[in-house]
Chains A and B, each alone.
Chain A
Amino acid sequence: MAIVAQSSKYGKLGRTVLAWTVGLLFFFPIFWLVLTSFKTDADAVKPEFLFFFTPTLENYLNMTENYDYWRFATNSVITSVFATIFALAVGIPCAYAMAFNPTRATKDVLMWMLSTKMLPAAAVLYPMTFLTKSIGLFDTHFMVIVVLMLINLPIVIWMLFTYFKEIPKEIIEAGQMDGVNTWGEIKEILIPLAWGGIASTALLCFIFCWNEAYWTVRLTTTEAATLSKLIEGNRAPEGLFFGRLSAVSAAAVGPIIVLGWFCQKQLVQGLTFGAVK
């Protein structure tokens, strides 16, 4: 009798329960954040109002009226969008060169790029702060865009490299025979073929830029400050105002959650890149 794999009914149930548990565990902080944002600062810390309370929009009104939320949000959009565009503009030619014209050093270059992510950001905090101040770029959009682009470039190049490697080299060579130059190969063949991969890379890069806090908090004050700075600025010396803080945080993560919700497919593809070939 042929041996076939038997799937256990309990195994399937167990996996479903586990998946739901993990899902809920990850969702809970967001749920709690949104819930708390509709409580007053006073209610937020009272155990009796844990789940049942009178909802208020006071924190959101306060945020838009007193803290200039829209300016911070606009800065977040500007810096994240441009950092992503520039990261792709540098990353696509770079990954193209390494995927289709590899040399003996390609592997080392890729590893070196990744190794820059292992550097603790704090190690270069002071040089970066002094440098940006001395050249007059402290608290400018340009500075934030460049920093966000550079810190995400290794992951962008790695992801694009993996996607490009999946494109048969013969197609690029056919292009060379057909008379396209390097830019033509990228524009006419590579980008249309790797569009899905480029989109997921762009999306992830955008999310990383949006959520970045270490540098955006430290290299800005007001002009180029992003939503991370707004959250950080809501820490008051008198203590934490949980209602207000939750509203600001919910308003900061809200756009990115909505974006992520609509682009789930691309995100999953992007996050599992290279896992299935």
Chain B
Amino acid sequence: MGRIVLDKVTKNFGDTQVIPPLDLTIEDGEFAVFVGPSGCGKSTLLRLIAGLEDCTSGRVMIDGEDVTEVSPSKRGLAMVFQTYALYPHMTVRKNIAFPMRMAGMSEEEQNTRIAAAAESLNLTDYLDRKPGQLSGGQRQRVAIGRAIVRDPSAFLFDEPLSNLDAALRVGMRLEITEMHARMNTTMIYVTHDQVEAMTMANKIVVLQAGVIEQVGSPLDLYHRPCNKFVAGFIGSPKMNLIEGAEAAKHGATTIGIRPEHVEVSATDGLWQGTVGVAEHLGSDTFIHIHGIDGCDPMTVRTGGNVSFKHGDTIYLTPDATQIHKFDAAGLRID
């Protein structure tokens, strides 16, 4: 079990309120991702759930029990930190065994769990090494192993992949997602990387300045962003937001169109612009175009074989059915 409810939780640091009253429910077995720009309060929110920060007001409930005043170790949660936070003076085996030893578990049970965790995380050959002798990816796996053996009601991940290189990050992302599918335990994952959020979550919580902007499934957020901030934040490359006369034609203050919903042509189209940079990824090409009224530069995602280059004139036609409209306050117009 691992149903987590935040009930009007607030957090102040001195006179500054970093989390205004906030309500959120994470159902048992969900993979919830807190995503937002740096300083939006996502890590603070995770730490409030973990108990590493005290709530200024409000309640944190785990499986119906109020744990607001309960110490971190008694909440039944396990946390994986960005910096791994392994005990450098202990071997991998001792690191993984540590929470079980603290819980007074028998040595036999400890060994069984260590062996199982090590096997599932490919750490069997490294059990007698110290963290300093491991690579970043292996260290993060040890941190996950230390969390798994506790059999927690929920896992909390605080930007666990930020310190890894791009290739390892993709690998670990898959491993964590698979782990969730296998264990079906509640996971809360903090990241500023919206690709991680989209690929891993079944519920994304988008935060800005401590306020929840939108909660929903990745595709919900992608296809129906509730405001301009979410529209711009979710999706890579970012949604093009166009203001001015072009938006007014659609009865909105701002319209948004995703890069893949714009057709390009060398001869004709609705909008005319000039190619700035064309980024060839092989399978796709991202073309950054200047000279479009109300949106400079505009990014367009097109096939891998287009041959536009810097300075070429380009014509664009948006897919009218995929235009998102926002009012003056930045809220979605349906």
Chain A residues with a Cβ under 8 A of chain B: 168, 170-171, 173-181, 184, 188-189, 192-193
Contacts and interface: CB of A to CB of B under 8 A. Distances in A.
A170 B81 contact: yes
Interface of B: 50-52, 71-73, 77-79, 81-83, 85-89, 98-99, 102-103, 146, 150
Contacts of A175: 87
B56 to A, nearest CB: 16
16 contacts: A170-B82, A171-B86, A174-B81, A174-B86, A175-B87, A176-B51, A177-B52, A177-B77, A178-B98, A179-B73, A180-B102, A181-B73, A184-B102, A188-B98, A192-B87, A193-B87
Contacts of B98: 178, 188
A181 B104 CA distance: 13
B103 A179 contact: yes
A189 B87 CA distance: 7
Contacts of B73: 176-181
A188 B101 CA distance: 11
A94 B285 CA distance: 59
A106 to B, nearest CB: 14
Given A170-B81, A170-B83, A176 B72 contact: yes
A181 B102 CA distance: 9
Contact of B99 (A170, A179, A189, A192): A179
A274 to B, nearest CB: 21
Contact of A174 (B51, B71, B77, B79): B79
A266 B327 CA distance: 66
Contacts of A177: 50, 52, 72-73, 77-79, 99
Nearest to B156: A177
A180 B85 CA distance: 15
Given A171-B85, A174-B81, A179-B103, 14 more contacts: A171-B86, A173-B85, A176-B51, A176-B72, A176-B73, A177-B52, A178-B73, A178-B98, A178-B99, A179-B99, A180-B73, A181-B73, A188-B98, A192-B89
Contacts of B103: 179
Contacts of A189: 87
A193 B86 CA distance: 12
A175 B82 CA distance: 15
A170 B80 CA distance: 10
Contacts of A193: 87-89
A178 B81 contact: no
Contact of A178 (B52, B88, B89, B146): B146
A58 to B, nearest CB: 53
A139 to B, nearest CB: 44
A179 B102 CA distance: 6
A192 B86 CA distance: 13
Nearest to B83: A170
Contacts of A170: 81-83, 85
A178 B77 contact: no
**B72, B77, B103, B146 — most chain A CB neighbours (10 Å):** B72
Contact of A173 (B81, B87, B146): B81
B2 to A, nearest CB: 15
A193 B87 CA distance: 8
A174 B89 CA distance: 14
Nearest to A178: B99
A168 B71 CA distance: 20
A177 B50 CA distance: 8
Contacts of B150: 178
Contacts of B82: 170
Contacts of A180: 73, 102
Contacts of B83: 168, 170
A220 to B, nearest CB: 41
Contact of B85 (A168, A184, A192): A168
**A176, A181, A192 — most chain B CB neighbours (10 Å):** A176
B131 to A, nearest CB: 10
A225 B280 CA distance: 84
The 8 closest A-B pairs by CB, nearest first: A174-B85, A178-B99, A170-B85, A179-B73, A179-B102, A192-B89, A176-B72, A170-B81
B102 A178 contact: yes
A193 B73 CA distance: 21
B124 to A, nearest CB: 22
Nearest to A195: B89
B314 to A, nearest CB: 43
A267 B254 CA distance: 66
Nearest to B47: A173
Contacts of A179: 73, 99, 102-103
Contacts of A181: 73
Contact of A176 (B71, B87, B88): B71
**A173, A176, A177 — most chain B CB neighbours (10 Å):** A177
Nearest to B82: A170
